[in-house]
Amino acid sequence: ADADAGSPEPAVAVPEQPEPEAAAPTGPHKVLILGDSLAATGFGALLERKLDAHPDIDCFRKGKSASGLARPDFFDWPAEAKRQLDARKPELVIVIMGGNDGQDMTPAKKKDKRTPWANVDAWKSDYRTRMDAFLGEIVGDERKLLWLGLPTMGMRSLEVKLETIRAIQKDAVEAQGDRASYLDTAPCVTGDDGELLKEAKVGSSRKPQPIRAEDRIHFTMSGSEYFADQVYPEVLKVLGVPDAPAAAAK
């Protein structure tokens, strides 16, 4: 029968379109390492080399010895992080810093007052504020953060300060949600008894090598390699990429 010209046409069933899959990343994963002397020298250089040797990773690094968040008058990390992120456009940022921060905090603006280390509550509050501002520059929808907790040190007076700094850093990182993670590195550099490791087998060495300098603070070159070897697989986990055989390296 003829359909009534004034009635609407019957609806045509349209199959549901599947949700588009996220586009696979094109090219290698970009990683940026930021930090103080640990990033600027042995450990940072060796971790960069290991990551850059992976066929699916391009790694970049910016380190500044004696820097941190306490002295923006010496080195402004939030501003530097923004420059590096704009230039490198990394998928993952690895940060290690704080060993120099156990001191009075200088203001970002000269008109503001210093925050004395001795004024514990004010110092903790201001340091958390600086951490939040720094992390705000880094963590984003398209970018992850892996914050490396400062390794255990062999000088008790320094270690006491670092315990305070680590706790604030950890809380600030965890407050950023699932795109940020904090790696406690103490198990990397201490034995089962909790004591600082003095030596370890490194790379292909058959005999244990000294991994700390005589000051029990700085790493030897073997120690830097050992620490980089411990951190490397944790970086791969965050990126979600498998390790690559040496033969497949760039």
- Looking at the structure of the chain, the number of domains it has is 1
Record the tokens describing residue 191, joined without a space: 């034995």
CB atoms under 10 Å from CB of 234, counted, come to 16
Q: pLDDT of 164-187, one tens digit each?
A: 999 999 999 999 999 999 999 999
Asked if residue 24 belongs to a domain, the reply is no
Q: Contact, 86 vs 147, CB < 8 A? A: no
Which residue type is seen at 63? G
Asked if residue 50 belongs to a domain, the reply is yes
The two beta strands, 199-200 and 209-210, are antiparallel
Asked if residue 131 belongs to a domain, the reply is yes
CATH code where residue 73 lies:
3.40.50.1110
Q: Could you list the residue range(s) of the whole structural domain that residue 221 is in?
A: 29-240
| Residue 26 in this model has a pLDDT that exceeds 80 | no
Asked if residue 195 belongs to a domain, the reply is yes
Q: pLDDT of 110-140, one tens digit each?
A: 778 999 999 999 999 999 999 999 999 999 8
Q: pLDDT of 136-160, one tens digit each?
A: 999 988 899 999 999 999 899 999 9
Average pLDDT score, the chain: 89
Asked if residue 104 belongs to a domain, the reply is yes
Asked if residue 1 belongs to a domain, the reply is no
Asked if residue 17 belongs to a domain, the reply is no
| Residue 49 in this model has a pLDDT that exceeds 70 | yes
Asked if residue 19 belongs to a domain, the reply is no
Q: Contact, 68 vs 131, CB < 8 A? A: no
Which segment of 53-67, 163-177, 195-209 scores lowest on mean pLDDT? 195-209
